């Protein structure tokens, strides 16, 4: 068996095409383009690269973006004040506000993220948005979790009644993805159309013991812990879908949390690294930014 490749880059391209039309309509109604403001702290090469790719993608779909850089020595109070100033539009219109993570270790990350107004929290990290998601009425869904769900739906991978094992319990991926996949279908959805919903979800973490015993039972495995090649072929049920969220720099290259080559010979579907979940995360950020602009200005 050779797995079907889940091409996140191609899917993200199709989403960008859809967003172009929406952004053009927005600009025609409000005489300006949607706008995203990103806070970048320090000079980490990986963070700068991610921010650059987000800005480039925003430009492709007709969303303006600005990066506000702060030194790595910036304090929590300074960063909170900056986010509050951006929210007051002191750096121009800010439909979406994103604080690039990780922040330096001396910074209270929660305090900085909580300073982002929930109606402009396009990362979906604010407790208000997390609460709405937990109640099944999401506003902004964390971008990586939304991207994984969209990949499953696009590939017509069934989730209703299936067992999903998520390896990783972060607030950014593991927890919100579990809520998404276990949720009821949206109101008005046909009874037989439950893509991306109605799953039975297990979350694994560092205290779970024999993770392989759980993943071998799974119809869908999502690896999101940041440990290179953690998921091996022996840990995957034949024909299962394997979604690799991990991005790890090893020997100058990028590898995921899945041992891609051997696992691709066992799985039914697999997402690559790079070119899988990464582009989808950016696409969902753009979708959230456009939604934020529309909600704030009353279009949607």
Catalytic residues: 54, 100, 123
Question: Do 195 and 152 meet the contact criterion of CB atoms below 8 Å apart?
Answer: yes
* Structure letter (DSSP) for residue 209: S
DSSP letters for 89-148: TBTB--SEEEEPSPPPTTS-HHHHHHTS-GGGBTT--SHHHHHHHHTT--SS--HHHHHH
Taking each helix axis from N to C terminus, what angle separates 143-154 and 8-30, rounded to the nearest 10 degrees? 110
What span, in angstroms and rounded, lies between the C-alpha atoms of 172 and 141? 10
Residues sharing a CB contact under 8 Å with residue 190, sequence separation 6 or more, in sequence order: none
What span, in angstroms and rounded, lies between the C-alpha atoms of 265 and 192? 31
What span, in angstroms and rounded, lies between the C-alpha atoms of 132 and 195? 20
Output b/e per residue, 73-85; b: 16+ Cβ within 10 A.
ebebeebbebbee
* Structure letter (DSSP) for residue 231: B
First to last CA, the chain: 45
């Amino acid at each position: 068996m050779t797995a079907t490749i889940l091409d996140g880059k191609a899917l993200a391209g199709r989403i960008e095409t859809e967003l172009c039309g929406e952004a053009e309509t927005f600009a025609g109604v409000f005489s300006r383009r949607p706008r995203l403001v990103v806070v970048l702290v320090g000079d980490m090469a990986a963070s700068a690269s991610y921010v650059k790719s987000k800005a480039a993608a925003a430009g492709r779909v007709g969303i303006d973006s600005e990066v506000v850089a702060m030194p790595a020595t910036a304090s929590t109070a300074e960063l909170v004040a900056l986010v509050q100033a951006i929210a007051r539009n002191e750096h121009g219109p800010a439909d979406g506000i994103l604080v690039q993570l990780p922040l330096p270790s001396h910074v209270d990350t929660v305090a900085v993220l909580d300073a982002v107004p929930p109606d402009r929290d396009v990362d979906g990290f604010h407790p208000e948005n997390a609460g709405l998601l937990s109640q099944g009425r999401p506003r902004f869904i964390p971008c990586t979790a939304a991207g994984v769900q969209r990949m499953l739906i696009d590939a017509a991978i069934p989730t209703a009644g299936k067992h999903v094992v998520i390896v990783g319990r972060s607030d950014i991926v593991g927890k919100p993805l579990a809520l998404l996949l276990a949720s009821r279908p949206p109101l008005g959805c046909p009874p037989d159309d439950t893509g991306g919903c109605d799953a039975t979800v297990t979350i694994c973490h560092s205290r779970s013991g024999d993770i392989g015993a759980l993943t071998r039972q799974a119809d869908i495995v999502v690896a999101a812990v940041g440990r290179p090649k953690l998921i091996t072929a022996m840990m995957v049920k034949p024909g299962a879908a394997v979604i690799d969220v991990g991005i790890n720099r090893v020997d100058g290259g990028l590898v995921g949390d899945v041992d891609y080559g051997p696992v691709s010979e066992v799985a039914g579907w697999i997402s690559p690294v790079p070119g899988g979940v990464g582009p989808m995360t950016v696409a969902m950020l753009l979708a959230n930014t456009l939604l934020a602009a529309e909600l704030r200005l009353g279009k949607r």
